[in-house]
A and B are shown apart, each in its own frame.
Chain A
Amino acid sequence: EAGVVQSPRYKIIEKKQPVAFWCNPISGHNTLYWYLQNLGQGPELLIRYENEEAVDDSQLPKDRFSAERLKGVDSTLKIQPAELGDSAVYLCASSLSGKSYNEQFFGPGTRLTVL
């Protein structure tokens, strides 16, 4: 069974440019998460989807970040415009549901460098 797929794995852009990350969750997983992992820290939740609905986006900086999961399967996270401080690893995860005991399966992440 394929795991969570993310692309690209690495991205280097100049500040003020837009960037987008793509995630395909494990088949059948209704819940999809985007996390931000800064260097030397644990991941922090940006947004959680239940099917196509964003049910927790309280930590998403909405002035420059946006996300979508139009058909309730794959998802895109966008930053426009990117800032130097956005350099980090962006992780996607999925689970069967959002219940607390469900394991979240993580993708390998996209490492973003903003110059």
Chain B
Amino acid sequence: AQSVTQLDSHVSVSEGTPVLLRCNYSSSYSPSLFWYVQHPNKGLQLLLKYTSAATLVKGINGFEAEFKKSETSFHLTKPSAHMSDAAEYFCVVSERAGGTSYGKLTFGQGTILTVHP
């Protein structure tokens, strides 16, 4: 079974300061991990994904995440927050089930990021 825990339901930062959104996962098989962002009244958009290649993954809009197997973590970071980063962020795990290559997405509860001027 797979699961995702996003450790913070809300994160508030000032514009220009670093962003850290924390995510821990549990998976029985080699997981694929994703971060999605959801702006109000818009569809979920993929920020980045890890699929067993490089452990440090770079995504769009300056975001990156590091896969740490020993810590079962996949935290999302950005060096400098922008006002447009304010949104809800979801950490997602996709596990190859039962030896097949099909991946079922399991979403975390979401972290709402607020950016103050």
Residues of A within 8 A of B (CB): 3-4, 40-45, 48, 56, 91, 93, 98-109
Please tell me if the beta carbons of A106 and B109 are within 8 angstroms of each other in the complex. Answer: no
Given A41-B109, A41-B110, A42-B90, is A106 in contact with B103 using a C-beta cutoff of 8 Å? no
Are the CB atoms of B103 and A102 closer together than 8 Å? yes
B58 neighbours in A (Cβ, 8 Å): none
Number of A-B contacts (CB under 8 A): 63
> Which A residues lie within 8 Å of B105 (CB)?
43, 45, 104
Is B109 within 8 A of A98, CB to CB? Answer: no
Binding site for A on B (CB under 8 A): 4, 31-32, 34, 36, 41-46, 49, 51, 90, 92, 94-96, 101-105, 107-110
Q: A106–B43 contact, CB under 8 A?
A: yes
Please give, as numbers and ranges, the residues of chain B lying within 8 Å of A44 by CB-CB distance.
107
